[in-house]
Amino acid sequence: MRHRHPIPPEEIEITAIRAQGAGGQNVNKVSSAVHLRFDIRASSLPEPVKGRLLRLGDHRISKDGVIVIKAQEHRSLEKNRMEALTRLQDLVDAAAAVPKRRRPTKPTSASIARRLEAKSRRAGVKAGRRMAGL
């Protein structure tokens, strides 16, 4: 189970905007898309999570450390709001997961033997190309 850091609603700025694309009269008159902004630096998230979020390199994170998410898949404003909040929580959860440290491994004795055998075989091929007497 991943660590879950709930985001307080007062730290999230949600704006209703008109959706793009096809949809006929409904898309022209109803603001059903959601524009979500979340300032990482001003949030109450733990410092390690903030650092990992800023280092993610996600296109939704601006240089100022603000996550911008736009949701417009659904026709209803409430569904789009829930979609945007879910995406934000997934992003925070991904950053909250501490990456496992890599343990360096040593090559097996069989792989070392194969490498040395290949080297000596290649050396023999090259030695056979040398002109005699030089």
pTM: 0.69
Q: Which residue has the tokens 């704006």?
A: 15
pLDDT tens across 74-93, in order?
A: 888 899 999 999 999 999 99
CA dist., res. 59 & res. 25, Å (int): 31
The predicted pLDDT at position 134 comes to: 62
Q: How confident is the model at residue 21 (pLDDT cuts 50, 70, 90)?
A: confident
Q: Number of H helices and number of E strands within the chain?
A: 4, 3
Query: Residue 24: its pLDDT value, please?
Result: 72
Q: Which CATH architecture best describes the domain 9-96?
A: 2-Layer Sandwich (3.30)
